[in-house]
Amino acid sequence: MAHHSSDSTSTSKPPRRYLQWPLPLAAIWLLAPVVGILIRLSLEPVGPHDYWWHLAMGKLIAATGGIPTENLFLYTLEADAAFFDQPWLGQWAMYALYEAFGHAGPIVLRNALAATAWAGIVGAALMRCRDPRVVGGLALLTAVVSGPVFGVRTQMFAFVPYVLLVGVLFAVATERLRRPWLLVLVPLTALWANLHGTFMLVPVLAGLTGGSLVVEHWIEERTFDPVQIGWWGGTVLAVSLAAMLNPLGPHIFVYVWELTFVSQVSETVTEWQPPSIDTPMGVVVLLTLTASLVVLALRRKKVRLFEAVLFAATAYLAVSAVRQMFWWGAVMLMVVPRHLSALLSLDPWWEDRTSQAQGVAHAVAAAVLVAAAVASQPGLWLHDVGSELRAGVARRTPPAQGLLKVDSPTRLVSQLAERGYPGTIFHDQASGGYLGFALGIGPTDARTNQVAFVDQRMELIPEAVWDEYFQLSRAQQGWREVVERYGIRTMLLSPREQWRLVQVLQGDPAWTLVGVDEAHLLFMRSDQTDHLTQWR
């Protein structure tokens, strides 16, 4: 492992600026991944799973001024069953934006955070590899495979802090920044620990970076540098203590560990599963990872130990779960481009003269990209066009037309709130958070009601309740007994996910179909005459 104090590539003259006249093609290479991810996210309607649950908790936090510590919404558990709401600050922020701007508020914030994160990581990568063709091309490829990670949920608050984390670690490790810059990670961790559980990446990646540098120094000098050990060891300790500045204190580490490695969420939720090679995204991930390993193997004598360790650690996260793709993608952009650029031996991009005509063409292309990114935001024409093209995925009727996926039964739930319903509601899991948001919190006194069978809290719901959920959804033997035990008299069902139960109810005179939404059917018990009259 060769030690380098700088990542700069030696050149005969300093490179031209990326933004100067005539505008070089380099500007397009660097703009494309940022604009690409922004347009992709803007044209994708928001799914119901985490979105509604976070809004429900944000609504409760705003109404009560406190952080929930109990179940509250599930009638399948005791109302006071202990529950820890770790991303409370992100939930409150999402709800505040929703209150002020409707669904467009959280969506635009997600888009802005994603664009900022990608601009930041592209800029940091350029500090290590000056070639915008390599950096921009790899960034565009990475944006394609990591796009699904950027949902409208509290995880969106982690991407900019992560880019800052990676940027600081690489800059200090390569001596572009002095070690005191590591102190920036302390307040960053304190904030992050109240936004999303991925704050654990700070002590882990800082520890891996510092440990790699200590080992690297020992290999080269056969001595340990106590100052180096003190700075990196102190940083890991300081950020670990900073993470305890949350409502759960030091137990937050146990919570994250259990959620990640113990809870059944890692076994049952698709985005917690490894990327499958049966999907186009999985194939692209496999090819990109393989190509990156080949590049690093060919350049092994020039690869720093900390680069290899961070690449391996985050690659492990990426192949373990789809939702962790960006963590690896950002590190890959910091590690691979400079080695790939050296292997390709490309002519320096700044040696190609840009004519006035080319500069105009590049400027027009850049303006079109920026205009498309702006026009793709909610309420603007490109977003409306995209919603029409996404017919069958995005809602085509109010409320939330074009913004949410059809999986959010907004019309039926609004009617449930207005007209009432008998008994308790059985529903598809995706609607659990929405029922908590719309029906579980009183409009004036913030009193909560147990309205959902299951919701998004995989770590809270015991396996026995999940067994009953699937027993009902599949109309398996004994499902009627489950209905009677919980007093279920209303069913809000997804034909796609609960088709067997829908078939049974349609042929059962004991149940009556009272409402239809774009992707949901609403049934009520036929003996509930007062409610049936109200709905008819």
**Model confidence at 248, in pLDDT bands (50, 70, 90)?**
confident
pLDDT value of residue 263? 54
pLDDT value of residue 391? 64
pLDDT value of residue 437? 95
Parallel/antiparallel/unpaired status of strands 424-427 and 488-493: parallel
pLDDT value of residue 261? 59
Q: Does residue 412 surpass a pLDDT of 70?
A: yes
H helices within 392-507, ranges in order? 410-419, 432-439, 463-473, 479-486, 499-506
Q: How many CA atoms lie within 13 A of 304 on its CB side?
A: 25
From edge to edge, which strands make up the β-sheet containing 521-525? Answer: 424-427, 488-493, 521-525, 511-516
CA distance 441 to 432: 13
Q: Mean pLDDT, to the nearest integer, of 125-145?
A: 89
Query: The whole model's pTM is what?
Result: 0.91
Q: Scanning the structure block, which residue is given the tokens 């907004």? A: 410
The structural domains of the chain, with segments of one domain joined by +, span 26-46+103-344
Q: Scanning the structure block, which residue is given the tokens 């393989």? A: 290
Among 130-134, 168-172, 267-271, 434-438, the range scoring the smallest mean pLDDT is 267-271
Count CB neighbours of 154 within 10 A. 26
Q: Scanning the structure block, which residue is given the tokens 């509250």? A: 72
pLDDT value of residue 268? 53
Q: Does residue 2 surpass a pLDDT of 50?
A: no
Q: Mean pLDDT, to the nearest integer, of 352-379?
A: 88
Q: Does residue 506 surpass a pLDDT of 90?
A: yes
Q: Mean pLDDT, to the nearest integer, of 344-348?
A: 80
Q: Mean pLDDT, to the nearest integer, of 243-247?
A: 90
Q: Does residue 15 surpass a pLDDT of 80?
A: no
| pLDDT digits 0-9 by tens, 63-80 | 998 999 999 999 999 999
Among 2-11, 256-265, 414-423, the range scoring the smallest mean pLDDT is 2-11
| pLDDT digits 0-9 by tens, 472-483 | 999 999 999 999
pLDDT value of residue 272? 62
More confidently predicted of 83 and 167: 167
pLDDT value of residue 5? 45
Q: Mean pLDDT, to the nearest integer, of 335-342?
A: 93
| pLDDT digits 0-9 by tens, 254-279 | 777 766 655 554 455 556 667 767 77
Q: Mean pLDDT, to the nearest integer, of 352-362?
A: 85
